[in-house]
Structure 1
Amino acid sequence: MSVLDKELTADLVVVGGGLGGIAATLAACRLGRRVLLVEELDWLGGQLTAQGVPPDEHPWIEVLTGSQSYAELRQAIRTYYRDHLPLSAAARAQVRLNPGQGNVGTLCHEPWVAVRVIDQMLAPHEAAGLLTVLRRHRVLRAETAGDRVQALTVLDLEQDRPLMLRAPLFIDATEIGDLLEQAGVEHVFGAEAQSRTQEPHALREADPFDQQAITWCLACDYLPGEDHRIAKPAGYERLRTLQLDCWPGPQFSWTLSDFVTHQPRERPLFVGPTDTESLYDLWHARRIAYRQHFEPGAYASDITLANWPQMDYWEQPVVGVSPQEQAAALEESRQLSLAWFYWMQTEAPRHDGGQGYAGLRLRGDVLGTTDGLAKQAYYREGRRIEAEFTVLEQHIGVAARPGRDGAEVFADSVGIGAYRIDLHPSTRGRNTVDIDSYPFQIPLGALLPVRVDNLLPACKNLGTTRITNGAYREHATEWSIGEAAGLLAVFALEQGEPPRAVRAKPELLADYQRLLQRQGVLLAWPRFGPLTPTQRVGYQHAKA
């Protein structure tokens, strides 16, 4: 599988190097299958790395992960810190080391560390000749025949050279489901109509361009007494007064709309010293480096990851629009994040009574960039397959399941996940939806397109609605979806059957589920209660 060839072949082509794509790739390689992994960026890891979002996980993550491989990823990140970074003796001794001591989760860490860990996890398979990673490659088109994908043409973005990729099975792990559209896989995006789903929180009428805000995250530290103010971003005067009709004031403010109650809520940058373990402010929410965890002088400051409501870009949708409209919206999102940062540096009311934190400094080095912003926008939703089975609010929402004490039990479960149903403000100006949900299963039917036989989803592009997608999109669940897709691809190849036959034939389904379990995948939860605001890790401090 030399990358010098004009055509590459493998058992499986995975498009998208986010967490779902990585999990699918590792799962297939562990079972000896040859994989081509295609990623447009130079970093692998998706929301964990290129998008700069620390793990936002369920409250039980330290005692129960959805799969052994995800637990290994988490442990490898901690091991990297212990082996390669100057931790203090006290921090090194912590079994559950949280490098940033962020409030949103128990493993807030620098994105570049996760990049190196993921590369290390893939390296043995590359060395064995099972895996070829095509970084900086973009899919141009898909060739299809009937209900099957035949091949993909990808472009080497550095050498401006096309390559043809062929395999019996393909996986879409792209951030917004781009391959679904290119391959003509039936899909939806945006909001469904309540008449179709019967969900309590669905819209009365479908609106594909009612989409959640995206966020272009940034990293920064704080050096009091120094001046690191950036140039005033383009359009700053307009952006500084931007306001949703449903918001209590301008978006550039410490006053927010509470995600659950929609009442005004104060969320300042600082309520006390930056390098304390935990405070209720924005700084401590997704702090990714806690200075006190390291030897004196190793870090000049704590480092935090900014993924805050003030940075939510809701003015234009990015899915299902023209390439020109998408590019314009993404650039506006970048400018919004830079404008917010400039506002904090120059105009923001200070906790000590002053104005502006000039000592805030962009830290693109931890994100692999020179401008301080992440490599890629954080997408909260994208295209979703029309699936053999679609997960509804009635399957996992607490209020939508009166008289029950848990989520729907799926006989075809291929993994587990847990997150609140969490929708950010939308491009139609709608406020948040943040409601209680039960820990849930991932049904195999949600991984099977209604028609196409040899393409599987591996992230938030599975068969959910816009409502339930808000629970299935976070880190650990995305990994579980990808792992299930990768193992399904291998199992189908071994059986000589299309993936949909695994669900249709009870004996195949039982064998496939036993394979999942042998690989360390959990198919069911113990009896845990619902994810309420007080039970979700870090809810009182941050939102993803």
Structure 2
Amino acid sequence: MMKHIQADVVIIGGGTGGCAAALGAARSGQSVVMTEAYDWIGGQLTSQVVPPDEPRWIEQFGCTASYRTYRNAVRHYYHRFFPLTEQARARVAFNPGNAWVSRLSHEPRTALAVLRDMLAPYVHSGRVQIWTGYKPVKAETDGDDVISVTICGREGDHLVLTGRYFLDATEEGDLLPLAGVEYVTGAESATETGEAHALAGQADSKDIQAFTHCLALDYAEGEDYTIAKPQEYEFWKNYQANFWPAPQLSWTVPSPATLAPITYVLMPGEGANPLFTYRRLADRSNFQPGTYETDISVVNWPQNDYWLGPIIDVSPEERNRHLESAKQLSLSLLYWMQREAPRADGGIGYPGLRPRPDVTGAPHGLAQAPYIREGRRIRAEFTVLEQHLSPVNHPDGKAEKFADTVGIGSYRIDLHPSTALRTFIDIPSLPFQIPLGALIPIRVNNLIPAAKNIGTTHITNGCYRLHPVEWNIGEAAGMLAAYCIENNVRPRDVRNSPEMLVSFQTRLRNNGFELEWPSIGAV
């Protein structure tokens, strides 16, 4: 007999946005069921092994209070349990990995521990249930309302989840097609959106940003951890896209902003901008001798971006082929670095590079899940466009002001190469607001996006997809569902009633949301 579970708010997807949504809904007094396809909740922060990408003002402002609680708790975790050096312990903005792309680069296991602790009061009280290892497979609807979602576990068991509100916090917007929610994929045309960097011709629903299957490793000079030659190694060794200045397996890549070739080095001391420290997760110099034998890093570099085909709205066979090839690319990059990469000292190869499956919780040191930059996006009551954020359109240095703001974010419009074999689009954007209208589907009443699936375009997704923004979106979605349940109204009623909108925004502010930016410039 199939098991049924009921909650006020059903969250499908336990990633960064899903966890924040669960916190927002549970803190507001609602019962929550949250599901997650992988073993670890946390998404980008954990199963995808991507430490936070954040605005440069993050230590002062630019996120919700609960996201700041998360950041503080990460630092407290290290202060409490790890023997730090005196210098590291005294550093206010302590960065465990001292990565040069992240102000709080830390291990996914730390993120997992902190997220579990933040949710623990609600889990222990029974207000929040978490089901890991489950994917959505079916949704039942009645007109413009979602009635239930069926999820399937790894053993083939099925659970039917019913609730008053359903939040899609999956990485690819998996609930949208199941529930018949109108959505968009890929790149829009400039004719449709008026965006300067949109496609000049027809829209292309298959033109989606590259995804990456990240890989954790460390390095021990003089040792040999060379892996078996990956099955697709010869292909990747010889592959070079026509927009790339060198073979895929090389140290030379395009600059995202200028597209001029840049040649990196691997290790500190070999030259400028060593890739090993780019997203380093643990810098052993922060810890007392003997704590870490080596530094730990994650390979999430231009060289292992995968763009040879989309994995959204394709056959299961095509999807699995691309997912496997992305793993093969990351393993091939590792094998090339171990066996054939030129060294700054004139030697060849770094056989001391060692995969760290203990860090990722998955075989070969690969992440449990691919890092998804772009998925399905709802057709929303309001869609954020490039011209809302571009300094070209706003010479006063202030992005479009949204009266229905539910939060803020800031990041460059950062698009990685796409499955249509288009190169980087990396352009400035102004610190922006998150409009409530982007969280409201054009038709469905009780489904709310809670991750990267809000009403953005292919272009603006490039700056709305990062960790603190996804967290803000998820937390706002959870609180919106709770507000609607409490007041027996719909999300679009909240947005379109000045009185209710002010009431909801006041509740957000009282819960530590920042709804507007101070005067700052483009990023």
Band of TM-score, shorter chain: over 0.9
Separation in 1 of the partners of 2:207 and 2:519? 35
Q: Alignment partner for residue 192 of structure 2, among 193, 196, 201?
A: 196
Q: Alignment partner for residue 377 of structure 2, among 365, 381, 384?
A: 384
- Report the counterpart of residue 295 of structure 2 in structure 1: 302
CA distances 1:305-344 after superposition (whole Å, capped 9, x unpaired) = 1100000111111111112211111000000000000000
- Report the counterpart of residue 109 of structure 1 in structure 2: 106
CA distances 1:58-95 after superposition (whole Å, capped 9, x unpaired) = 00001113210000000111111111122223222222
- Report the counterpart of residue 41 of structure 2 in structure 1: 44
CA distances 1:233-277 after superposition (whole Å, capped 9, x unpaired) = 002111112111011111111111111111111112125179xxx
- Report the counterpart of residue 165 of structure 1 in structure 2: 161
> Following TM superposition, by how much is the alpha carbon of 1:402 offset from its aligned partner in structure 2, in angstroms?
4.7
Q: 1:227-266, aligned counterparts within 5 Å? A: 227-266=224-263
Q: 1:391-470, aligned counterparts within 5 Å? A: 391-399=384-392, 401-470=393-462
Q: Alignment partner for residue 312 of structure 1, among 281, 305, 310?
A: 305
- Report the counterpart of residue 542 of structure 1 in structure 2: none
TM-score calculated relative to the size of structure 1: 0.94
Q: 1:333-344, aligned counterparts within 5 Å? A: 333-344=326-337
Separation in 2 of the partners of 1:326 and 1:361? 29
Amino acid in structure 2 at the alignment position of 1:259: P
CA distances 1:146-183 after superposition (whole Å, capped 9, x unpaired) = 0000001112324x321111001000000000001111
Separation in 1 of the partners of 2:207 and 2:265? 29
- Asked if 2 retains the 8 angstrom alpha-carbon contact of 1:18 and 1:46, the reply is yes
TM-score calculated relative to the size of structure 2: 0.98
- Asked if 2 retains the 8 angstrom alpha-carbon contact of 1:216 and 1:333, the reply is yes
- Asked if 1 retains the 8 angstrom alpha-carbon contact of 2:172 and 2:453, the reply is yes
Gaps of 5+ in 2: none
Q: 1:271 to 1:298 in 2, by over 3 A?
A: closer
Separation in 1 of the partners of 2:153 and 2:222? 46
> Following TM superposition, by how much is the alpha carbon of 1:485 offset from its aligned partner in structure 2, in angstroms?
0.5
- Asked if 1 retains the 8 angstrom alpha-carbon contact of 2:2 and 2:160, the reply is no
Separation in 1 of the partners of 2:63 and 2:54? 11
Amino acid in structure 1 at the alignment position of 2:240: Q
- Asked if 1 retains the 8 angstrom alpha-carbon contact of 2:29 and 2:482, the reply is no
Separation in 1 of the partners of 2:228 and 2:197? 42
- More displaced stretch, 172-181 vs 235-244: 235-244
SS at match of 1:150: strand
CA distances 1:484-526 after superposition (whole Å, capped 9, x unpaired) = 1011101111110111100111111010000000000000000
Amino acid in structure 2 at the alignment position of 1:246: F
Q: Does 1:124 align with 2:116?
A: no
- Report the counterpart of residue 537 of structure 1 in structure 2: none
Q: 1:199-238, aligned counterparts within 5 Å? A: 199-204=195-200, 205-238=202-235
CA distances 1:21-71 after superposition (whole Å, capped 9, x unpaired) = 011100111111100001111100001110000111100001113210000
- Asked if 1 retains the 8 angstrom alpha-carbon contact of 2:32 and 2:128, the reply is yes
Q: Does 1:181 align with 2:177?
A: yes
Q: Alignment partner for residue 144 of structure 1, among 101, 123, 141?
A: 141
Separation in 1 of the partners of 2:176 and 2:420? 24
Q: Does 1:480 align with 2:472?
A: yes
Q: Alignment partner for residue 322 of structure 1, among 315, 325, 333?
A: 315
> Following TM superposition, by how much is the alpha carbon of 1:381 offset from its aligned partner in structure 2, in angstroms?
0.1
- Report the counterpart of residue 540 of structure 1 in structure 2: none
- More displaced stretch, 86-95 vs 98-107: 86-95
SS at match of 1:487: helix
Q: Alignment partner for residue 513 of structure 2, among 516, 521, 524?
A: 521
SS at match of 1:126: helix
Separation in 2 of the partners of 1:271 and 1:20? 34
- Asked if 2 retains the 8 angstrom alpha-carbon contact of 1:407 and 1:438, the reply is yes
- More displaced stretch, 88-97 vs 324-333: 88-97
Matched pairs, number: 522
- More displaced stretch, 320-329 vs 230-239: 320-329
- Report the counterpart of residue 26 of structure 1 in structure 2: 23
> Following TM superposition, by how much is the alpha carbon of 1:403 offset from its aligned partner in structure 2, in angstroms?
3.1
- Asked if 2 retains the 8 angstrom alpha-carbon contact of 1:397 and 1:421, the reply is no
- Asked if 1 retains the 8 angstrom alpha-carbon contact of 2:406 and 2:476, the reply is yes
RMSD of the TM alignment (CA)?
Answer: 1.2
Q: Does 1:359 align with 2:352?
A: yes
Q: Does 1:13 align with 2:10?
A: yes
Percent of aligned pairs sharing the same letter: 51
Q: Alignment partner for residue 70 of structure 2, among 70, 73, 81?
A: 73
Separation in 1 of the partners of 2:441 and 2:93? 39
